[in-house]
Chains A and B, each alone.
Chain A
Amino acid sequence: MGYERQADLGTPPSASADSVELTIDGRQISVPAGTSVMRAAAQSGGHIPKLCATDSIKSFGSCRLCLVEIDGMRGTPASCTTPVSEGMVVHTQTQRLQKLRRSVMELYISDHPLDCLTCSANNDCELQDEAAAVGLRDVRFGYEGSNHLGLDVDSSNPYFDFDPSKCIACSRCVRACDEIQGTFALTMDGRGFESKISAGTRDDDFLSSECVSCGACVQACPTAALDEKAVKEIGRPERAVVTTCAYCGVGCTFRAEMRGEQLVRMVPWKDGKANRGHSCVKGRFAWGYANHQDRITSPMIRDHIDEPWREVSWDEAIAFAAARIDAIRIRHGSEALGGITSSRCTNEETFLVQKMVRSVFGTNNVDTCARVCHSPTGYGLKTAFGTSAGTQDFDSVEHSDVILVIGANPTDGHPVFASRMKRRLRQGAKLIVIDPRRIDLVRSPHIEAAHHLPLQPGTNVAVLTAMAHVIVTENLADETFIRERCDWQEYDDWRQFVSDSRHSPEALESVTRVPANELRQAARLFATGGNGAIYYGLGVTEHSQGSSTVMAIANLAMATGNIGRPGVGVNPLRGQNNVQGACDMGSFPHELPGYRHVHEADTRQLFEREWGTTLDAEPGLRIPNMLDAAVDGTFKAIYIQGEDILQSDPNTRHVAAGLAAMECVVVHDLFLNETANYAHVFLPGSTFLEKNGTFTNAERRIQPVRKVMQPANGFEDWEVTQLLANALGAGWSYSHPAEILDEIACLTPSFAGVSWSRLEQVGSLQWPVNEQHPDGAPVMHMDGFVRGKGKFVVTDYVPTDEKTGPRFPLLLTTGRILSHYNVGAQTRRTKNTAWHPEDLLEMHPADAENRGLKDGDWTRLASRTGETTLRVKVTDRVAPGVVYTTFHHPETQANVVTTDYSDWATNCPEYKVTAVQVMPSNGPSDWQEDYSKRTDRSRRVIEDVPAE
């Protein structure tokens, strides 16, 4: 598309089902009751000049530009705050209105710099447009009097400037921060002529304030008062392409606004069904990694990992990799080979990687980064409901009355959805938070959790069982729902189990450290408070009982009848952009696409016919088992697409030992990541801006990813996989991801109705898309569970083997922060480092005092597995006895400390519970020093590019 600003109807839509007929400028129209006159006029093709109104926030009625005349009504009401009524006759253009609007506009312009030709918003400025619309030709008031033209620009935010001289005090930014983002960081400071937008206190600037840099204020600003630095540097965009963000599992859609081949800005798409026009600091601004100087665009090879890299042609790199893989297969068999798919890559790319491993390598040794995050979700929800996916769409939260958040930190991990959740909470929904830390949701502006259960890490199952105990023993279960929808005998077994007095909150308090009375009240609220929705994250899955906790959550939802309609459900908040899709596409070693077990002969035959090959009927190795086998000498070669297992997986020393033992490690990525230190072949990857395909977000929404620029490395990632597969004899001939998507649809029942052309028409589809659900299924299990009857599973609390003791008396839990994403490979290469330049260790003041530690001190963090150093942040967000850190920076290598313990059902690592000791330190650990030397040695490159 060419460049057009997104349509703005002035005020939000009305949800009313009733309609009203009225006449605007002689045109008869019908609109929903409650619609503003401004919006009705816009819907009928007209335009009423406006400045303080925009359709993403409530009307305000301050700019007085949108005045209209209405028959029978005195004066000239503001059209933005006047609702339509039956038979209303509205006039939007009269001489009287024209005169009034010109006078209003004259006042605005009298205190606005007339530097349009050199202004970054020139031709993209609502003030400029409306001055033209009202026919302003002269300003009578001059500029000699008091004005705001000399005020200083606040350039503290790395991505946008605030120029108060261009501010018209319309308050759109303040209202966007309040209503859309829900941070309440901005305010209109002062009164009358002294009115000024202020971030935080008078001593604050945008960077030091509570502002989370979501961009909602920039998006709302009608002038250049809040404008992206990139627009100032590059110029006004000239075209826009709608695509899907490659950060978290919310799956925001954006307009990539381009000038030539250069990305100017990412603007949240108002029609995006996942984000509804909102964004966060990562998706909105943190795309600079795509052009970062660290990006590798030439393939590289080396015979041994101690040698420097040698840049080579694509042909040589692919031939080198294929020869090594083939030689290993001949010598050691197919079982010595494997691959890892990426949750950051598209469905089509992931599908091809697992297809290559299964049908070309000849083994089921394929796994994915979901192994270390949401594999328990797959196991648990498939067991309970029959599908490995969340039950709701994001819109569902608007119908929730009680929201239970367990093991998730949505304001940091899934900020755009968190804003929608916070909006619902401000409307009156009740909140229960189960988390060892006092996350922001527990208490933030205009939000306070009804109950925060600060449990001991590792006791999720005990807490949920205690909640179930209260619900069952106090007769709060929804037995009508259970009899109709679930297996009654299984429910009865579960009911007896949870009713046992040893599962009461009082009996378990010594284990969970949650006050029994608080837990009882939380359970009662969830069972009786109306629509109850459960949202969870990696604080549920990354435990030795991750799968049990997922099933315990499902039990709770079924027992209270909170499944199968909007406002309820079980909602895993997926970490990476395409975790759902990577799992759907058959990335697990025991499942073919569509979650069908490799044991199923009929399913295998379907794929064998399509792919012209024979498939192994036994599951392959999971990532940790691949590493074990590598150390043992039976696993020799791996192809890793878009995943940095050395930094992201637990027990870094073990990962390093496994990788070092392999004879061929092929890393396909944007950067020389930490895993590449142990690689023999580096194949440069393409960014999400450089490829076509689809991502599937946490609400099962399949959305198009569109290429907005040519790949800097020369190929989209699916093309690179095809090159390697063909070098190994595959004979593939895909020319566009649409063809791969057709193959996926043909082989995967839940994708049966999905195609590239269909997605182009409808924007997105939520699987299943099949005969039963031709337009997809926003809410699942409406009329019955996919597996038939919902299954209650008895989830016995089994304490983790990771115990604290005299040597390691503290419990470490890990997580992420708003400004960074996963291992930080992308966000560390953006200006987001302004907010989080290093990983910090959060520690309770009492624990810090016991160790003589002050805020900012260097500490040694040691576990039975390893040790690292990092600085301490003293805070009571964590409970005594618990410490917390992130894993975004390779210098810290937080996973040197985490252990091999994992979920009993899926081997998802137990990142959230590690017994540690913390003590003062004055320098990096031996591991950090050795690793730093290895990294420097490993990244040497001989730059002699041979001719193609």
Chain B
Amino acid sequence: MNETAHSVIRMANQIARNFEILGKEAAVAATQDHIASFWDRRMKAAAFGLLPSADVGFSPLAREALERLAGETDGAGHQDAG
């Protein structure tokens, strides 16, 4: 696992943990929005690339947020928010 992969796992979990107080639905949405707003596309792509592995260490909230974001994003990590 490279440096970026290590970082995105830790960052995604940390973001999700700080939104956890909002309750599951809101926390997932807030985490998804935060990552969409602040992460570079290669970080998003690195996180999406880790999703197929069940044991990489994403928290359930972080994983769900990333899965939703991946579903709205093209393969290069670009979100059509324009």
A contact set with B: CB distance below 8 Å:
335, 364-365, 497, 544-545, 548, 589-590, 597, 599, 601, 604, 617-622, 624-625, 627-629, 631-632, 634, 794, 796, 798, 900, 904-907
Contact = CB atoms under 8 A, between A and B. Distances in A.
Contact of A629 (B4, B22, B34, B39): B4
Contacts of A589: 40
Interface residues of B, number: 26
A625 B18 contact: no
A629 B78 CA distance: 18
Contacts of A622: 40
A622 B11 CA distance: 13
Nearest to A621: B40
A634 B42 contact: yes
Given A617-B82, A618-B78, A625-B43, A905 B2 contact: no
B77 A618 contact: yes
Nearest to A630: B3
B79 interface: yes
A622 B8 CA distance: 13
Given A599-B82, A601-B82, A628-B4, A619 B40 contact: yes
Contacts of B41: 335, 618
A560 to B, nearest CB: 22
Nearest to B4: A628
Contacts, number: 76
A584 to B, nearest CB: 18
B14 interface: yes
19 contacts: A364-B40, A365-B40, A497-B21, A544-B14, A597-B37, A601-B82, A604-B82, A617-B81, A618-B78, A620-B40, A621-B42, A621-B43, A625-B43, A628-B6, A631-B3, A634-B42, A794-B22, A796-B20, A905-B34
Given A548-B18, A794-B21, A794-B22, A619 B38 contact: yes
The 7 closest A-B pairs by CB, nearest first: A796-B21, A628-B3, A599-B81, A904-B14, A601-B82, A632-B2, A631-B3
A628 B47 CA distance: 14
Contact of A619 (B4, B14, B22, B39): B39
Contacts of A900: 7
Interface string B47-82: 000000000000000000000000000000111011
A941 to B, nearest CB: 33
Contact of B37 (A545, A548, A619, A796): A619
B9 to A, nearest CB: 12
Nearest to B81: A599
A907 B21 CA distance: 20
B17 interface: yes
Nearest to A658: B3
B18 A904 contact: yes
A618 B4 CA distance: 17
A632 B14 contact: no
Contacts of A545: 18
B15 interface: yes
Interface string B1-36: 011101100010011011011100000000000100
A624 B6 CA distance: 12
Contact of A905 (B7, B15, B78): B15
B38 A590 contact: yes
Nearest to B44: A618
A619 B41 CA distance: 7
Nearest to B22: A794
B79 A618 contact: yes
Contact of A624 (B7, B38, B42, B77): B7
Given A619-B39, A621-B42, A796-B21, 14 more contacts: A335-B41, A599-B37, A599-B79, A604-B82, A617-B81, A618-B77, A618-B79, A619-B37, A631-B2, A634-B4, A794-B21, A794-B22, A796-B18, A796-B20
A624 B43 CA distance: 12
A914 B78 CA distance: 36
Nearest to A338: B40
Nearest to B76: A618
B11 A907 contact: yes
Contacts of B82: 599, 601, 604, 617
Nearest to B78: A618
Given A544-B14, A618-B79, A632 B38 contact: no
Given A628-B4, A632-B4, A905-B34, A798 B18 contact: yes
Contacts of A544: 14
Contacts of B17: 798, 904
A628 B18 contact: no
A475 to B, nearest CB: 24
Nearest to A631: B3
Nearest to B7: A628
Contacts of B81: 599, 617
Contacts of A796: 18, 20-21
B65 to A, nearest CB: 13
